[in-house]
A and B are shown apart, each in its own frame.
Chain A
Amino acid sequence: MNSTSATEKFAGLQGKAEAVWKVSWVKRGRGIIGMVFFYLVILSLAFVFVYPLLFMISKSLMRPEDVADATIQWIPKRLNLENYLIAGKAINFWPGLLNSIIISFGSAILQVISCSIVGYGFARYRFPGQALFLGMVVFTFLVPPQTIVVPLFTFFADLGWINTHLPFVFPALLGHGLKGSLFVLIFIQFYRTLPNVLEEAARIDGAGAFRTYWMIMFPLAKPAMLVVFLFSVVWHWNDLFEPSMYLLVPEYFNLAQNMAFFNGNANLEIQQASTSVSTGTLGMAPTLQNQVMAGVMLTILPVLVLYLFTQRYFVESVERTGIAGE
């Protein structure tokens, strides 16, 4: 009796163990399926993001025949680096690069400094009218630049600043400029997350408000600085609206402007060619797509390289800045 019940018990236990074993396998199986599914989704999404870049690289290395050839999708028959030489000349690469660097890096550095000062003031001080001014910061972000473009243009023209870099740099110095209010908001958000203790210690040791800020708080804001700096550089780099307002002579054009002109010319050429050449010769229409793509690659290459180097810190910084707001 006893022994049978014991064996029964044992069998029951074994069954249970088996069941547990099975369940864990089912779970693990589900986990694997989930993981595969997860990677499938994220890979296909990532593909969409990389696709235009790959497309550009591939097209920019093709010869005209390859572009027209329907059998060639991605890999050109022979690498053709000539496109880059032609495009580099057409977009006036080196002078344009210099202008782009002055505009975007100059404005970005100034915006980092000025916006952090302003953000600190908002985050750490209580003064009458603060809510109002904070509302004004948000308001500044919402006004479309096109609404005030005419008065701004005449303002800078009166100062004789057209065809100089000052219309970009000067607003940046005062915490404005391209998306300046957004950067102020990022810094406000970041300084709010820092503890008060450090400043109090500095103040007790006799440092003034600005000294405390400059020596203690500003260096702590590195994550926010990196995010603002990168955003600012990239947005200034790609911006076409403001440069086309204030830089009217080709020698002051930045890369984005040169690229826009190059593309316009290329489109014009294609149009002329397609109207003059008889339409019967299919696939023979001259294509400048490869050169245009090479031009685009050259234009974004500097920021792309900058991003590759800062990407790791950038992603980490975003998490620490509290960029998300409230």
Chain B
Amino acid sequence: MLAPTAALGQKGAASARDGSMEKFTRLSGVAAPMPLVNIDTDMIIPKQFLKTIKRTGLGANLFDEMRFDRDGNEIEDFVLNRPAYREARILVAGDNFGCGSSREHAPWALLDFGIRCVISTSFADIFYNNCFKNGILPIKLPKEQVDALMEDAERGSNARMTVDLEEQTITGSDGETFGFEIDPFRKHCLLNGLDDIGLTVETAAMSIDAYEAKAAERRPWL
């Protein structure tokens, strides 16, 4: 089980890139509400922080321009600056979360801050994909359910939710439970912290060799 403290203690563990990523099994923690629609990856991690050649350390600048003023002071009413949400592990967000740039720095920043799960009605495709590569679980739910969880999240530090990947459920602070869908392959990889490259080499190397040989005959100009 991933207790919030454990998640905190392992900040950025998946970033070490030792050939595996941190498993995601069960997550229990505070959920922060971000009802704004179309939150883009430029908001999640502004460009000036993309000049790093590392995956770690980006949590300090997560949502930088919404979270801090120009002098680096916290903007008081930004959700993650409010005392109740400073250790949020889950985000409940408006439609089309993660749109825009393909920067994987966005999930790296979320992970480094301690966010392991984002719940929304919809996600931009590239961001959605990038989450799974980093042990973050993005959950798509119908609007009524996101609205209910958003309301739950508004309750501050009392808004503890539990996400169980094996069971594919989210349980709100009042015990109400919602089921969610997830691609079985992605679920398997998250539950076991599997590295995609290792998997591909293991399962598909011969097929790739064969494909290349066939393609060289069919499309020799490539």
Q: State whether these chains interact.
A: no
A residues sitting closer than 8 Å to B (CB atoms) are none
B residues sitting closer than 8 Å to A (CB atoms) are none
